[in-house]
């Protein structure tokens, strides 16, 4: 059936859906442009757009929810695929050796507040484990944008921050299967099997990547961009689909696929896939907002704000630890702390996994949405204030020393 015939058979419904979907994408483009002008991440704006046009919002879109849900899932997969393409197995292993102490501090400092809040709210094991993950992991996407916007790539502490983010992503490999097992009510044995499989797959992929198995790169040709795009994109979606069938995180599976490719192939793939990632990831964040009723936010806002204040403080401490190991300056310590503040992609992935559970706390999704909004906005703002604040702090210290010397 031709596209015109398909449209005719659907009548006004298909036409309306096309208009609404097109308007949604156009609106997201305008919001992304606005975010770039202001100098902030577009993620909070995408979430707000979802809240505005979802159930309970100002205007409910009639777009096919199943279509949007699948598109959003592709967005999450592409986010992690592109992240995997940024690194090689050797880099990951070297980073883990150098950053494992900071990684332990990061886990303890930033997951405990979520776990404690979950237990205090009476959300049981599922709520505590989910909130612990939400408060633990920073947003790689927002961090990358902040570093790029503020031209901090060559700062001494930034490699350490990036290394810590890699460790966080690796921690997600066993964490997400555990969370999925708890959310689906699987037995302890099933959960242990899922974690074992996850760790085994991660270890195998790292081994292949470290050994630089050239046959993997030969599967794709950097000089054939169309074939590369379709093959890698299709293979990643296929692997993500099979991973989901076996209760393995589709996002982590995509990350591992990205690790397998290096050199010219990885560079060409990043160039070709980046626009697709931006498109589908925008829908991913909007879909999460669409799934949240704005009327549920006021009830959880005080809790989300308190959790965000604690989360900002713990990430600042984590950043100081990372910068100190890098022998960075006082400015660098403030920069590292503020870079890590924002939560985003993975926090929303975690909430999405829990949301489908029949025993999920009903307030968890609006709480996570609000929490991500607060930290995603606060992170870039605090980063911009880090150096002026550090300068002011140094000047106060200098004035204090001068006053003591004068007496």
Concatenated DSSP letters for 241-285? Answer: HHHHHTT--HHHHHHHHHHT--HHHHHHHHHHHHHHHHHHHHHHH
Specify the pLDDT at position 131.
95
pLDDT at 320: 92
Q: What's the pLDDT tens digit per position in 308-341?
A: 999 999 999 999 998 888 778 888 888 999 999 9
Mean pLDDT for 133-140 is 90
Contacts of 221 (CB under 8 A, 6+ apart): 227, 228, 265
User: Rounded mean pLDDT of 228-245?
Assistant: 84
Q: Worst-scoring range by mean pLDDT, 23-27, 92-96, 394-398? A: 394-398
126: nearest Cα among 293, 372, 351: 351
> In the prediction, which pLDDT does 191 show?
66
Q: Is the pLDDT of residue 202 over 80?
A: no
pLDDT number for residue 128: 94
Among 18-22, 27-31, 197-201, 370-374, name the one with the lowest average pLDDT. Answer: 197-201
d(CA 376, CA 370): 10
pLDDT digits (tens, 9 = 90+) for 48-81: 888 887 666 676 666 666 667 777 778 878 877 8
Contact assessment for residue 119 and residue 148, using Cβ atoms and an 8 Å cutoff: no
Q: Comparing 21 with 123, which gets the higher pLDDT? A: 123
Is the pLDDT at 290 greater than 50? The verdict is: yes
pTM: 0.73
| pLDDT at residue 310, as a whole number | 96
Asked whether residue 385 carries a pLDDT value surpassing 50, the answer given is yes
Angle 167-251-305 from CA coordinates, rounded to 5°: 70
Q: For 345-371, what is the mean pLDDT?
A: 86
Is-contact 134 343, C-beta < 8 A?
A: yes
Residue 135 has what pLDDT? Answer: 95
Q: What is the CA radius of gyration of the chain?
A: 22
Q: Could you give the percent of the chain with pLDDT greater than 90?
A: 16
Question: Residues 6-57: pLDDT tens digits?
Answer: 445 555 667 777 777 788 788 889 988 988 887 777 877 887 888 887 666 6
> E-strand spans in 94-151?
none
The pLDDT tens digits of the residues spanning 274-283 come to 888 888 878 8
Do 177 and 343 contact (CB within 8 A), yes or no? no
47 token code pair = 């979430």
Output the pLDDT for position 404.
46
Residue 301 pLDDT more than 50? yes
Residue among 345, 350, 351, 399 nearest 375 (CA): 345
Within 13 Å and on the Cβ side, how many CA atoms surround 225? 6
**Among 91-105, 251-265, 298-312, 332-346, which range has the highest average pLDDT?**
298-312
User: What domains are defined for the chain?
Assistant: 14-386 (1.20.1530.20)
């Amino acid at each position: 059936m031709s596209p015109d015939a398909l449209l005719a058979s659907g009548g006004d419904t298909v036409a309306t859906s096309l208009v609404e979907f097109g308007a949604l994408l156009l609106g997201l483009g305008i919001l992304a442009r606005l975010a770039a002008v202001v100098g902030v991440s577009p993620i909070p704006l995408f979430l707000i757009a979802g809240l505005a046009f979802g159930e309970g919002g100002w205007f409910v879109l009639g777009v096919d929810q199943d279509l949007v849900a699948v598109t959003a899932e592709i967005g999450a997969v592409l986010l992690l695929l592109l992240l995997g393409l940024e690194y090689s197995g050797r880099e990951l292993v070297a980073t883990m050796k150098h950053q494992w102490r900071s990684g332990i501090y990061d886990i303890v400092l930033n997951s405990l507040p979520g776990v404690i809040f979950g237990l205090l709210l009476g959300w049981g094991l599922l709520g505590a484990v989910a909130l612990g993950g939400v408060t633990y992991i920073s947003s790689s996407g927002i961090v990358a944008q902040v570093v790029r916007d503020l031209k901090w790539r060559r700062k001494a502490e930034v490699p350490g921050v990036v290394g810590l983010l890699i460790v966080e992503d690796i921690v997600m490999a066993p964490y997400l299967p555990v969370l999925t097992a708890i959310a689906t009510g699987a037995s302890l044995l099933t959960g242990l099997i899922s974690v074992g499989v996850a760790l085994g797959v991660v270890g195998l992929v790292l081994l292949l990547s470290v050994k630089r198995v050239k046959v993997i790169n030969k599967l794709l040709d950097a000089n054939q961009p169309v074939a590369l795009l379709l093959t890698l994109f299709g293979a990643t979606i296929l692997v993500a689909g099979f991973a989901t069938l076996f209760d393995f995180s589709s996002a982590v599976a995509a990350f591992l696929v990205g690790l397998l490719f290096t050199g010219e192939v990885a560079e060409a793939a990043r160039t070709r896939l980046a626009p697709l990632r931006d498109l589908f990831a925008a829908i991913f964040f909007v879909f999460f907002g669409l799934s949240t009723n704005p009327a549920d936010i006021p009830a959880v806002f005080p809790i989300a704000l308190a959790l965000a204040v604690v989360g900002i403080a713990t990430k600042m401490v984590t950043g100081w630890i990372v910068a100190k190991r890098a022998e960075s300056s006082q400015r660098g310590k403030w920069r590292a702390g503020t870079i890590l503040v924002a939560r985003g992609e993975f926090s929303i992935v975690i909430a999405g996994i829990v949301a489908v559970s029949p025993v999920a706390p009903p307030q968890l999704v609006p709480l996570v949405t609000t929490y991500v909004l607060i930290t995603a906005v606060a992170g870039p703002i605090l980063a911009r204030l880090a150096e002026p604040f550090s300068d002011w702090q140094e000047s106060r210290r200098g004035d204090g020393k001068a006053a003591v010397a004068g007496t």
